[in-house]
Amino acid sequence: MEWEVVIGLEVHAQLNTATKIFCACPTVFGAAPNTQTCPVCLALPGALPVLNAAAVDKAIALGLAVNARINRRSVFARKNYFYPDLPKGYQISQYELPIVGQGQLTIALADGREKVVGITRAHLEEDAGKSLHEAFPGQTGIDLNRAGTPLLEIVSEPDMRSPAEAVAYLKKLHALVRYLDICDGNMQEGSFRCDANVSLRRPGAPFGTRAEVKNLNSFRFLEKAIEYEMERQRDILESGGKIIQETRLFDANKGETRSMRSKEEANDYRYFPDPDLLPLVFDEARIASVRASLPELPDAKRDRFMQQYGLPAYDAGVLTASRAVADYYETVAMGVDAKMAANWVMGDLLGALNKAGLEMESCPVAAEKLRTLLQRIGDQTISGKIAKDLFEMIFAEGGEVDAIIASRGLRQITDSGAIAGLIDEIIGANPQQVADYRGGRDKLLAFFVGQVMKASKGKANPDQVNALLREKLKA
Amino acid sequence: MAFDAEAVIRTAHLARISLPAAEVPAVAEQLERIMEMVEALRNVPTEGVGSMAHPLDLEQPLRPDIAQNPDRREALMQNAPAARDGLFLVPKVIE
Amino acid sequence: MDLSEASLRELRDALRSRRVSAQELTRFYLDRVAAHNPALNAFITVTEAAALAAAAAADGRLAAGEEGALLGIPMAHKDIFCTAGVRTTCASRMLERFTAPYNATVVECLQAAGMVMLGKLNMDEFAMGSSNETSHFGAVHNPWDLQRVPGGSSGGSAAAVAARLVPAATGTDTGGSIRQPAALCGVTGIKPTYGRVSRYGMIAFASSLDQGGPLAKTAEDCALLLEAMVGHDPRDATSHPEAAGVFAATLDAPLQGLRVGVPEEFFGAGLDPEVAAAVEAGIRVLAAQGAVIKSIHLPNNAHAVSTYYVLAPAEASSNLARFDGVRYTYRAAGVEDLTDLYQRSRYEGFGAEVRRRILIGTYVLSAGYYDAYYLKAQQVRSLIREDFRQAFADVDVIVGPTTPTAAFALGDKAQDPVAMYLADIYTIAVNLAGIPAMSIPCGFTAGGLPIGMQLMGNYFTDGLLLNVAHRFQQETDWHRQRPALASAKE
């Protein structure tokens, strides 16, 4: 009998506001410990929280992007527990009345189908500080620079039914928050963290007991952790055991999850509305203002690319996976063949970036430059092959397209007389092959083309070479 | 409704206050008397009555997203019971 | 002129006309503190050098022709307000060695007005108490009878003003902690409308109930002080946008036609007959000035104490979670692990009353009890507010006793928390609703102990209360009495 896995994901996205959610401390990553603190985020006696407007707007933006209900009135609540990286002894979060309600995210599955994943809610809360366990022997060091950074906790419905679906959802959400420019999505630095709730059930049966795997900070880890959980839980269930509802950590080295020691043990958070903060209320005007400032969202952009540039769904999907790539492509595609531009961006450019370990944001070849290069192919100035060499040159060393074509003499040879001359030379130098070709070995054409190209240092126009060769080789 | 020793110990743990065993009975008794005083509340008819979380009928004011706090680490950490290299220190936490 | 008896206005005139300098005035009061504080224990910290320096600066401003009403006048802060560079303890071992790295807004306001802080005043630990007996630094003694309590939690503030150790003091009021000690010490104090005085830097006990306010010898003095203390503060999200106000200009408005409500529930069993008599006499004084007296009902006042003792400890249990031995508080010695650090630091750092309230608060918020207690209490709180709303549809001011008895003996109620809590029966509902209220002296017991009369007003009628109190004080001289200790010629 089959088991069906049920997966729900909770994502904590750090909002890229300039200041923390409840105080005016900067949120720059990597500062010296405790240099980005103040009485409020250090929880000194008498300090009070005041809400950051930008955090509210970014939460609204996410809500609009997932077609969620935006709650005009939401309330902050205290989640009470003791931990050294939680200076107040409570986290200010939202409990019964979050800012964003029910929404949804459509994901594309490998077989081309689409699936709608429900989003239960999203709410604002503050991040905790950092505990450094290896700093000093027998002691843990606490750095509160991160304490108070705004988080948007996005909770999905338990709608996913495979590790692949979970990864697709997470990738889509990751791209979305970067599209919206509300979160930098840097999973290594912890600005986009994922907890997975995993359970098994017989198809059609009620949901089983779930385990929560915390703090997965890569798509691969998410996939592996779910796979491990599926196996672990299946083993338990099939031997007649029961799944314990607990929190687990993923050990990336071993590829396993293990139970977390008591941090969350029997925690009674005693939620109650925070009396230092009043209900968050805003009007249609605020929502309209955020809506007006939303960028074109990934799905809409993908559909437009298919329409406007005549690209197939796959290409459009790759080119709109990130806003930076999409913007780059559109600049390149201005006035050149859209499909050619797509192939070059998807293949040559992204390939080169990948190999060099670079993100689009640090791309050494400006979009206009690549466009110029493609235009030189289109107007027959250079051949496609030469263009690829030229691209690699510019990627590695910089330089201007036309300047390099001139200085290295890369212009394509299109003069039929010159080409004819080269062909005559090659024909003269290879009588045996000529005879064999005329005798029926058609495949030798490639040999002759190759020789001519070599003789012209790759610059002869291949189509002309081809056509003229066929003519001259006719018996 | 009894505030027994077990309730005291459980609550004290939630509040991270260690009570010496000898004190628990006295504390339980005091807390029970306070809860007795409070019990009367439960009989007050409040059908359909709204909850008053706050005297102010106002909405949350918002702050502009502009960084303003300079680095004042030394002044802000001057009262730390244990600190080194800019970090607050606690006994090692095992996760 | 007897500097210890002068009003703020008289002191200001003396300073402006150079009859006395700010430094001389500060020296005068510092000497009184040195002489009498040992018997009273009203001060936790005296900041002599800083006070004299601030006085010198004030003299400079006076010489330059500056005209503020409070410029150069000595005062002291309840040790619940953070004062930069000065120890701020909240009367707790937990903060015994805590130097605040920043100023509370209230402190900044009065500093900007040129007041000279002499030190930090004793209080009940973390503002939890009605007798100033829970302080880690020892109880405060009532200047009228050193064997009796001054009231709490602002016991040090009331005692210091009554003994003429300062002409002005700040206090805070969560369930009566300005009004009740003012009554027991024979001074004037006002708890303003919630949201008018910034809570930034005022160490939180119960956030939706706490308000800071002044204590002084007269309503006029309180009006001048309160004007400087109110105002919108963007650092406090619960600060009202229209918090500012002027109060001194309207002090003399006549009371003709003023509608005064007297709650029947406040004159029942438990009210000491001498207190009742003094308050009733006080009400007759108002009537003689043209006020119209009528009986009103506050039917849910009976539930005020129960409601308060769910909500205040609940908020406190969360507000005091930051006192954990990690970043700036007392830390127990020789802790073995993190749990040990928390548990022992908090057991040793907090006194018994604070621990009790944290436990009650934690309990009523915990799983299974939230609806039955916390949510229920918030609903009853609505009912209490509604009682006031209905009352103020018919009357302008509500008048009654501040406390059921005069000052009780030290140690009398300390062992019986519930008895102590029930003594707040007349003051607590005010905090639950968030309306303004004040206490003014209105008589003495046969044994010579002060009795206070309480005035309550609708939201934002702080000016009206001060006006009524001022007119009352123009017709009476209870507020001019002083304890023998204060008359000592030093």
Show the tokens assigned to C93.
């071992």
Contact C350/B at CB under 8 A: yes
DSSP A97-113: S-SB-SEEEEEE-TTS-
Describe the crossing of helices B24-39 and C352-365 by its angle, rounded to 10 degrees.
60
What's phi and psi for B77, nearest 5 deg? Answer: -100, 5
Contacts of C237 in chain B (CB under 8 A): 60-61
Q: Which helix (H) or strand (E) holds C399?
A: strand C397-401
Collapsed DSSP state (helix, strand, coil) of residue A356: helix
Q: Specify whether the backbone of C91 is left (phi greater than 0), alpha (psi in -120 to 50) or beta.
A: left
**ipTM of this model?**
0.95
Domains and CATH numbers, chain A: 4-290 (no CATH), 307-407 (no CATH), 416-474 (1.10.10.410)
Give, for all 490 residues of chain C, the pLDDT tens digit.
Answer: 899 999 999 999 999 999 999 999 999 999 999 999 999 999 999 999 999 999 999 999 999 999 999 999 999 999 999 999 999 999 999 999 999 999 999 999 999 999 999 999 999 999 999 999 999 999 999 999 999 999 999 999 999 999 999 999 999 999 999 999 999 999 999 999 999 999 999 999 999 999 999 999 999 999 999 999 999 999 999 999 999 999 999 999 999 999 999 999 999 989 999 999 999 999 999 999 999 999 999 999 999 999 999 999 999 999 999 999 999 999 999 999 999 999 999 999 999 999 999 999 999 999 889 999 999 999 999 999 999 999 999 999 999 999 999 999 999 988 888 888 888 999 999 999 999 999 999 999 999 999 999 999 999 999 999 999 999 999 999 999 999 977 655 4
Collapsed DSSP state (helix, strand, coil) of residue A333: coil
pLDDT of C263 reads 98
Interface contact A138-B58, CB threshold 8 A: no
Buried (b) or exposed (e) across A167-199, using 16+ Cβ within 10 A?
Answer: bbbbebbbbbbbbbebbbbebeebbbbbbbbbb
Q: How far is CA A101 from CA A60, A62, A67, A72, C45, in A?
A: 11, 11, 10, 10, 52
CB C221 within 8 A of CB C247: no
Give the other-Cβ count within 10 Å of A132's Cβ: 17
Question: If you measure CA to CA, which chain A residue comes closest to B77?
Answer: A34
* Separation of alpha carbons C102 and C97, rounded Å: 15
pLDDT of A444 reads 87
pLDDT of B94 reads 73
* Separation of alpha carbons C105 and C111, rounded Å: 10
CB C151 within 8 A of CB C179: no
Q: Which helix (H) or strand (E) holds B84?
A: strand B83-84
Describe the crossing of helices C22-40 and C8-16 by its angle, rounded to 10 degrees.
140
DSSP A268-282: ----EE-TTS--EE-
* Separation of alpha carbons C287 and A137, rounded Å: 75
Close Cβ partners of C381 (under 8 Å, ≥ 6 residues apart): B51, B52, C307, C311, C432, C433
Q: How far does the CA of residue A26 sit from the closest CA of chain B (Å)?
A: 5
Residue C70's domain is classified under what CATH number?
3.90.1300.10
Angle at C268 between CA C267 and CA C274, to 5 degrees: 60
Does C350 map to a domain?
Answer: no
Host domain of residue C118: 8-257
C-alpha torsion A315→A318→A323→A328, nearest 10: -60
Contacts of C329 in chain B (CB under 8 A): 79, 81
Interface contact A45-C88, CB threshold 8 A: yes
Cβ-count burial of A239 within 10 angstroms (0-12 exposed, 13-18 middle, 19+ buried)?
A: exposed
Across the interface, of C100, C236, C362, the residue whose CB is closest to A270 is C362
Q: Which helix (H) or strand (E) holds A251?
A: strand A247-251
Q: For residue C63, give the DSSP letter.
A: H
Does C315 map to a domain?
Answer: no
Pairing of strands C259-263, C397-401: parallel
* Separation of alpha carbons A416 and A463, rounded Å: 11
Contact C350/A at CB under 8 A: no
Q: How far is CA A444 from CA A102, A416, A425, A429, C33, in A?
A: 66, 22, 16, 14, 113
* Separation of alpha carbons A332 and A346, rounded Å: 12
- Alpha carbon A364 to chain centroid, angstroms: 20
**B20-66 per-position pLDDT tens digit:** 999 999 999 999 999 998 999 989 999 999 998 888 889 999 999 99
The number of residues making up chain B comes to 95
Buried (b) or exposed (e) across A35-74, using 16+ Cβ within 10 A?
Answer: bbbbbbbbbbbbbbbbbbebbbbbbbbbbbbbebebbeeb
Show the tokens assigned to A77.
């609540």
Give the other-Cβ count within 10 Å of B42's Cβ: 13
Interface contact A48-C362, CB threshold 8 A: no
Q: Which of A 149-188 lie inside 8 A of C, CB atoms?
A: none
The count of structural domains within chain C is 1
Close Cβ partners of B18 (under 8 Å, ≥ 6 residues apart): B12, C340, C343, C344, C346, C347
**A342-395 per-position pLDDT tens digit:** 999 999 999 999 999 888 888 999 999 999 999 999 888 888 888 998 999 999
- The amino acid at residue C299 is P
Q: Which of C 358-377 lie inside 8 A of A, CB atoms?
A: 362, 365-367, 370, 374
Does C249 map to a domain?
Answer: yes
What's phi and psi for A355, nearest 5 deg? Answer: -65, -35
pLDDT of A262 reads 52
Close Cβ partners of C10 (under 8 Å, ≥ 6 residues apart): C1
Q: How far does the CA of residue A362 sit from the closest CA of chain B (Å)?
A: 27
Close Cβ partners of A419 (under 8 Å, ≥ 6 residues apart): A413, A452, A456, A460, A461, A464, A465, A468
**Runs of H (alpha helix) within C302-414:** 304-319, 338-349, 352-365, 376-394
Among candidate residues A170, A164, A161, the one with its CA nearest the CA of residue A193: A170
| Catalytic residue ranges of C | 78, 153, 177
Q: Which helix (H) or strand (E) holds C454?
A: strand C450-457
C-alpha torsion B53→B54→B55→B60, nearest 10: -140
Interface contact C366-B11, CB threshold 8 A: yes
Contact A89/C at CB under 8 A: yes
* Preceding omega of C153 cis (within 30 degrees of 0): yes
Show the tokens assigned to A423.
């062909």
pLDDT under 70: residue ranges of chain A? 1, 261-266, 475
Interface contact A141-B87, CB threshold 8 A: yes
pLDDT of C220 reads 98
- The contact set of B with A (CB < 8 A) is 14, 16, 53-54, 56, 58-69, 71-73, 76-77, 82, 84-95
Collapsed DSSP state (helix, strand, coil) of residue A220: helix
* Separation of alpha carbons C236 and C232, rounded Å: 8
Pairing of strands B62-63, A51-52: parallel
Size of interface B-C (CB pairs under 8 A): 164
Interface contact C240-B78, CB threshold 8 A: no
Collapsed DSSP state (helix, strand, coil) of residue C296: strand
**Residues forming a β-bridge with A460:** A413
CB C418 within 8 A of CB B37: yes
Does C83 map to a domain?
Answer: yes
Interface contact C343-B72, CB threshold 8 A: no
Does C276 map to a domain?
Answer: no
Across the interface, of C331, C362, C417, the residue whose CB is closest to B15 is C362
Does C393 map to a domain?
Answer: no
Show the tokens assigned to A297.
């969202």
* Separation of alpha carbons C42 and C162, rounded Å: 11
Does C148 map to a domain?
Answer: yes
Give the other-Cβ count within 10 Å of C246's Cβ: 11
Q: Specify whether the backbone of C412 is left (phi greater than 0), alpha (psi in -120 to 50) or beta.
A: alpha
Does C470 map to a domain?
Answer: no
